[in-house]
Structure 1
Amino acid sequence: MRTALFIVPLLLTACATPREACMNDVNREVRILDALIGETRENLARGFAVEERQQVRTRRTFCTGRNSDGSRFRFRCDKTSTIKRNVPVAIDLNAERAKLVSLEQRQVQNISNAESGIAQCIARYPE
């Protein structure tokens, strides 16, 4: 989920006007903090965090190959796959609440900074 949150703005920046790109850059920290605030609120609502872990699995199977004369042959081989799993993780709810308060305070300041940055973008790149 986080990956998509960061990739979409990059894709949109590729075809954005200079003004839009400037405004997108100014709002980057606001978007990041929005995502962190949302994640922290979800953790508090659930009572635990969710961590993504990768599990590597190897299974024995049969593969096919070709001899120099063009005939096919089968041999035993291993196929490896990676599975992503969401695992619940215990959190300190009091620390999580304190983190949320801190993030929200930083967000207020970042929004104020972003507003002045957007005004600068508009002045620099009038349409």
Structure 2
Amino acid sequence: MTRNVTIVAAMALPLLLSACGTPQERCISRNTDEYRTVSRLLAQVEGNLARGYAWEERQVVRDRLTHCRSYSRNRKGEVSVYYEPCWRDYVDTERYRVPIDPVVEQRKRDNLAARKSALSNRAASVVQACRQAYPETQG
């Protein structure tokens, strides 16, 4: 039950955080999402080119020795709790290097740079419009 609650809480966190911020910040964030995504991807591709390889991640299930709660009932029907060693699975994220094709990465970089420059004028006008629509008071 606790694991399900944790999973639901983790899924709801981005929704809760998106409700945070001023109306101006939410307007800017909502309307510049594609620009920020393209900028992030461009930085990632440039990093790959500089390193000569890319990073990828994979989920690995491992065992860990821990203490598990156990219950026993005596002849009177009383329940006692005790802890005993047991093995539990946990998920670990591993980063590993992946070889890249420099020609393909340069083509990606060029396309992303062109897309970013095309989106930058729209993003600047959206930011200005959001600041006019939702002025923040200084103080």
Normalised TM-score (structure 2): 0.71
Give the match for residue 62 of structure 2. 57
Q: Distance in 2 between matches of 1:95 and 1:56?
A: 33
- Alignment-mate amino acid for residue 104 of structure 1: A
Task: Provide closer, same or farther for how the CA distance between residues 118 and 74 of structure 1 changes in structure 2, counting only shifts above 3 A.
Answer: closer
Structure 1 unaligned spans of 5+: 1-6
Match of 1:101 among 91, 101, 110: 110
Deviating more after overlay: 18-27 vs 60-69: 60-69
SS of match in other structure, 1:67 = strand
- Out of 93, 100, 107, which is 1:84 matched to? 93
* Identical columns (%): 34
- The AA in structure 1 aligned to 2:31 is V
| Cα distance in 1, alignment partners of residues 55 and 42 from structure 2 | 15
Q: Matched residue pairs, number?
A: 119
Q: 1:98 to 1:63 in 2, by over 3 A?
A: same
Unaligned residue ranges in structure 2 (runs of 5+): 1-12
- Paired with 1:62 and 1:124, the residues of 2 have a C-alpha distance of 57
Alpha-carbon separation, structure 2, partners of 1:103 and 1:32: 10
**SS state of the match for residue 43, structure 2?**
helix
CA-based RMSD of the aligned residues comes to 2.6
CA gap 1:78/1:118 in 2 versus in 1, 3 angstroms: same
Residue type matched to 1:20 in 2?
Answer: E
Which range is displaced more, 44-53 or 73-82?
A: 73-82
TM-score w.r.t. length of structure 1: 0.76
Do residues 43 (structure 1) and 73 (structure 2) align? no
